[in-house]
Chains A and B, each alone.
Chain A
Amino acid sequence: MPQLRAKRRRIGEDVIKGVLAVCALISVATTVGIVVALFVPAFEFFQEISIVDFLTGKDWSPLFEPAHFGVLPLIGGTLLVTAIASAVAMPFGLGAAIYLSEYASPRLRGILKPAFETLAGIPTIVFGYFALTFMTPLLRDLGIQVDIFNTLSAGLVMGVMLMPTVASLSEDAMGAVPCDLRDGAYALGSTKVQVATRIVVPAAVSGIVASFVLAISRAVGETMIVLVAMGQQPNLTFDPREAAEAMTAFIAATGAGDVPTGSIEYKTIFAVGATLFVLTLVMNVFAIRLVRKYREVYE
């Protein structure tokens, strides 16, 4: 009988497997690190400031005396800019996706899709510059009386930035819809519009919703556009022409300063950061599940 098993264990092979496993552990350690880094100081923060006051307070002025820690103005700023960005990114992104998936020839799609996606490769600081030096003056020229820093131009530019996110993921989902469904509808006498709007979009709806959720999550977590173009003054308002502050902008502005470690001002970074992390995590998990779901349906 020939010997089929190695006579001895190869120690070198085990060492290599161990080294590779350590590499893999680094990403686990990152997650643990993020959770610990955010939630330990946030927990300490909430021992000093009641979590109810934090989540329902309408005044955010942690650096002034007397300090107020109501996070609503920051959440409001984030939600308003996100809403504006979504109103741009979702319809235009979806429109672009339908065109790429249903109307463009494969050749044209091969050119247009990567070209459209270059928008996603531009650094966010550049979009911030664009919002401040192009969009805001443009809005004023159009007769909309916006402040120098305002939520409207930050939101509009953020929407432009997120269009490829929506278009790309939605187009993937529509591409996964089997041609049989389209052919069946054409056989029944449907027009191209009907096939696109009543067959393809409904069949790809989970992927489209996932792209929407992911875009919202990215808008909530986006920092540079809001820091540069939206302003740094907490402002609980629904008027997008005014300056306001988003959660991320507060974190960046405070983190860049020299607040002493362990002070309550320092801990606000983590309380707001933890709020942001939980918000985006919930949306991301939801989106990833949806993407999985539509993949399973048609494969």
Chain B
Amino acid sequence: MSRALKGGLFKGLLLLSLLVGFLMLAALLVDVFKDGLPYLDLTLLTNPPSSDPAIAGARPAILATIYIGILLLLFVVPIGVGTAVYLEEYADKTRWYNKLLEINIQNLAAVPSIVYGILGLAFLVRGIGLGRVLLAGAMILTLLVLPTVIIAAREAIRSVPDSIRQGGYALGATRWQVVSRQVLPAAIPGIATGSILALSRAIGETAPLIMIGAVTYISFDPTILGPFTALPIQIYSFLRLPQAEFKLLAAASIIVLLAILLTLNAFAIFIRNRYRRSW
């Protein structure tokens, strides 16, 4: 075979690999929209689930997902940023316990999400008797995406040049004054981007919430300390029902979920591009 032919064939195979991915993505979107669009209406957004597909909606699930998202941000941003500040600005990196901390965070990022679900079931739901409540779900998702936020916040803090810190110290500022008034404000775009991406990952998570929330029938609006069902779980519940119409409702709910995620990701990209700073 000639070299040129071989080269062309090789390049064609590589392109095919990319193409398979894009084709599958397109097939997935077409599949979801074709099934779901007819059912995507106000009923879906305002009605609770019902045994009658014509009037069934996902309102409690959508509300619960919003509540979980707000709680998650309230928990994960302070803890994640606090950890990142500790590791980047305070910790002596030659100490064994600080090295262990870093390895620990790396490993946690790769633990399967269902394992976090087991943790939540054992400690929160049954251990301390919190029960199958929304707060337990938000707490477990916080732990799940905490490594993501820590890693993003550390990178944002690290990219603030040392000259800024030294300028602060030269003016007599304490360490915390330098961190809180110089470093963190400069790192906000990176931290915000990372937090939003973590939020969008958490909102799409299903497995840990199945362990905590169970797949129950919830027809009323959720409260923080009450039973709940989130949007991905609602999709799973719809999928398990035998009637074909519920599969279409699942598709419509998927469109809502994807729309939320797309909005969040677009927002994250916007912040990253708008506030990107080069030192």
Partner of A224, one of B13, B86, B147, B236: B236
**When A26-B79, A129-B239 are in contact, do A270 and B118 touch as well, CB less than 8 Å?**
yes
CB of B186 to closest CB in A, whole Å:
18
Is the CB of A121 closer than 8 A to any CB of chain B? yes
**When A13-B176, A129-B32 are in contact, do A34 and B115 touch as well, CB less than 8 Å?**
yes
The answer to whether A37 touches B17 (Cβ under 8 A) is no
Is the CB of B123 closer than 8 A to any CB of chain A? yes
Could you mark each residue 1-42 of chain B with 1 if its beta carbon is under 8 Å from any beta carbon of chain A, else 0?
001001100110111111011101101100110010000000
The answer to whether B204 touches A123 (Cβ under 8 A) is yes
The answer to whether B28 touches A122 (Cβ under 8 A) is yes
Q: Point out the residues of chain A lying under 8 angstroms from B150, CB to CB.
A: 27
The answer to whether A99 touches B236 (Cβ under 8 A) is no
Is the CB of B114 closer than 8 A to any CB of chain A? yes
Q: Point out the residues of chain A lying under 8 angstroms from B163, CB to CB.
A: none
Q: Name the interface size band of chain A.
A: 35 or more
Could you mark each residue 101-120 of chain B with 1 if its beta carbon is under 8 Å from any beta carbon of chain A, else 0?
10011111011111111110
CB of B90 to closest CB in A, whole Å:
5
Q: Point out the residues of chain B lying under 8 angstroms from A125, CB to CB.
A: 204, 206, 232, 235-236, 254
CB of A63 to closest CB in B, whole Å:
17
The answer to whether A26 touches B83 (Cβ under 8 A) is yes
Q: Which of B43-51, B56-64, B210-218, B220-228 contacts A (4 or more CB under 8 A)?
A: B210-218
The answer to whether A256 touches B119 (Cβ under 8 A) is no
Is the CB of A280 closer than 8 A to any CB of chain B? yes
CB of A9 to closest CB in B, whole Å:
11
C-alpha spacing A132/B101, complex, angstroms: 41
Binding site for A on B (CB under 8 A): 3, 6-7, 10-11, 13-18, 20-22, 24-25, 27-28, 31-32, 35, 78-80, 82-83, 85-87, 90-91, 101, 104-108, 110-119, 121-123, 126-127, 143, 146-147, 150, 174-176, 200-201, 204-207, 210-211, 214-215, 232, 235-236, 239, 247, 250-251, 254, 257-258, 261, 265
Q: Count how many pairs of residues, one from A and one from B, have CB atoms less than 8 Å apart in the complex.
A: 245
Residue with the highest number of chain B CB atoms closer than 10 Å, among A222, A227, A285:
A227
User: Which A residues between 164 and 217 are near B, CB-CB below 8 angstroms?
Assistant: 164, 167, 191-193, 196-197, 214, 217
Residue with the highest number of chain B CB atoms closer than 10 Å, among A22, A23, A94, A127:
A23
Is the CB of A243 closer than 8 A to any CB of chain B? no
20 A/B residue pairs, CB under 8 Å, sorted by A: A20-B85, A23-B79, A24-B101, A30-B119, A31-B107, A38-B119, A96-B21, A103-B14, A116-B22, A121-B204, A123-B206, A123-B232, A125-B236, A125-B254, A129-B31, A191-B3, A217-B110, A224-B206, A273-B114, A284-B107
Is the CB of A144 closer than 8 A to any CB of chain B? no
Q: Point out the residues of chain B lying under 8 angstroms from A93, CB to CB.
A: 17
C-alpha spacing A287/B101, complex, angstroms: 18
Could you mark each residue 1-24 of chain A with 1 if its beta carbon is under 8 Å from any beta carbon of chain B, else 0?
000000000101100110111111
Is the CB of A91 closer than 8 A to any CB of chain B? yes
Among residues of B, the one whose C-beta sits closest to the C-beta of A21 is B86
CB of B94 to closest CB in A, whole Å:
16
Among residues of B, the one whose C-beta sits closest to the C-beta of A272 is B118
Q: Point out the residues of chain B lying under 8 angstroms from A197, CB to CB.
A: 10
Is the CB of A115 closer than 8 A to any CB of chain B? yes
C-alpha spacing A280/B20, complex, angstroms: 28
Interface of B is mostly: helix
The answer to whether A19 touches B206 (Cβ under 8 A) is no
C-alpha spacing A261/B132, complex, angstroms: 14
Q: Point out the residues of chain A lying under 8 angstroms from B18, CB to CB.
A: 95-96, 99-100, 112, 116
Among residues of A, the one whose C-beta sits closest to the C-beta of B212 is A255
Residue with the highest number of chain B CB atoms closer than 10 Å, among A17, A119, A167, A223:
A223
Partner of B111, one of A12, A103, A127, A280: A280
The answer to whether B115 touches A276 (Cβ under 8 A) is yes
Interface of A is mostly: helix
Partner of B211, one of A16, A103, A252: A252
Q: A128-B236, A277-B112 are in contact. List 19 more A-B contacts (CB 8 A).
A: A13-B176, A16-B176, A20-B83, A23-B78, A26-B83, A28-B104, A33-B119, A37-B118, A95-B13, A95-B16, A121-B201, A122-B28, A122-B204, A125-B204, A134-B31, A221-B114, A223-B206, A255-B211, A284-B111
CB of A139 to closest CB in B, whole Å:
13
C-alpha spacing A251/B115, complex, angstroms: 9
The answer to whether A23 touches B83 (Cβ under 8 A) is yes
Q: Point out the residues of chain A lying under 8 angstroms from B6, CB to CB.
A: 191, 193
Among residues of B, the one whose C-beta sits closest to the C-beta of A260 is B126
C-alpha spacing A124/B207, complex, angstroms: 9
Could you mark each residue 85-116 of chain A with 1 if its beta carbon is under 8 Å from any beta carbon of chain B, else 0?
00000011111101110010000000010011
